[in-house]
Amino acid sequence: MSFNYTTLKNCKKYLKVRCIDPTCRWMVRAYAIGESGWFHVHKYVGEHTCGVDHVTGNHKNVTVEVIASLILNFFIDNKGPSPKEIERIIYRELHCSLNLGSINSLMVDKESGRFIYYFMVFRASIRGYALMRKVIAVDDTHLSGKYKGMLLSAVTQDMQNHIYPLVYCVVDEDNDASWGVFFEKLKAFVVDEPELCVISDRHVIIANGLARHYPLTYHDVCMRHFGENFQTNHHYSDSLYLYYYAAKTYTLEEF
């Protein structure tokens, strides 16, 4: 949560939370799901109608909207403060530090001075990963800007099948070295264990990186990527539904 809040009622069966500003509409109302320890959100009003004045040092998270509303006052002739200056302003005005516990790594080419790898994961993603399923999907995409390069990423899912972003890594090329750096940095908080499953398009360079850095982890193929390859290489569009029907069975007998 981005603002201070007040817990109006909190017990094993019912939870009601609202913003500390009595004029603000932000609130959450939830009910317990049996004895599971989980709550079902019955009502959620996600928009704050209060201002920056209610963000204090007692609450250590601020949203981009709060930061933007504060930083606007420091623009002069359409030129804003640098990232380091923004950090100092946020700490001075709101007594908050930005993204403590996040992980980022920058690797630079010694000859040209240009970066070749940049790995980033936010603290919120690190904390949330402990509550996610032990299934991670990794993929890459081409960057279309003038600097080109690739964006490697990893996501997982919560217990209600919502996609949860984990890490991002900008690299120069889609090769063994890039994926090696990606998986090496990922191990900072995603432990190699037999209970973990990594899903990809089964590209050989991803398999090579997993073999080096995640030898205990189970590696499986993405159903959608496999289906696209099946259709492109074998031209069995009319039979594709049979593949998906088989892929979505969860027992050997049903398969």
Q: Supply the pLDDT for residue 64.
A: 77
Q: Supply the pLDDT for residue 108.
A: 86
Torsion of CA 70, 75, 79, 82, to 10 degrees: -40
Q: Give the pLDDT mean for 233-247.
A: 84
Euclidean distance between CA atoms 214 and 206, whole angstroms: 11
pLDDT band of 58, cuts 50, 70, 90: low
Euclidean distance between CA atoms 177 and 147, whole angstroms: 19
Q: Give the pLDDT mean for 26-49.
A: 84
Mean pLDDT value across the chain:
84
Q: Supply the pLDDT for residue 19.
A: 83
pTM: 0.63
For the beta carbon of residue 234, count every other beta carbon within 10 angstroms: 10
pLDDT tens for each residue of 181-228 = 999 999 999 999 999 999 998 789 999 999 999 999 999 988 888 888
Residues 176, 193 contacting (CB under 8 angstroms): no
pLDDT band of 9, cuts 50, 70, 90: very low
Structure tokens at 89: 């302003």
pLDDT tens for each residue of 107-160 = 888 888 788 999 999 988 999 999 999 999 999 999 988 888 999 999 999 888
Domains of the chain: 5-94 (no CATH), 103-221 (3.30.420)
Question: Residue 83 above 80 pLDDT?
Answer: no
Q: Give the pLDDT mean for 247-254.
A: 87
DSSP string spanning 104-166? EEEEE-TTT--EEEEEEE-HHHHHHHTTS-SEEEEEEEE--STT--EEEEEEEE-TT--EEEE
Query: How many residues comprise the chain?
Result: 255
Question: Residue 14 above 90 pLDDT?
Answer: no
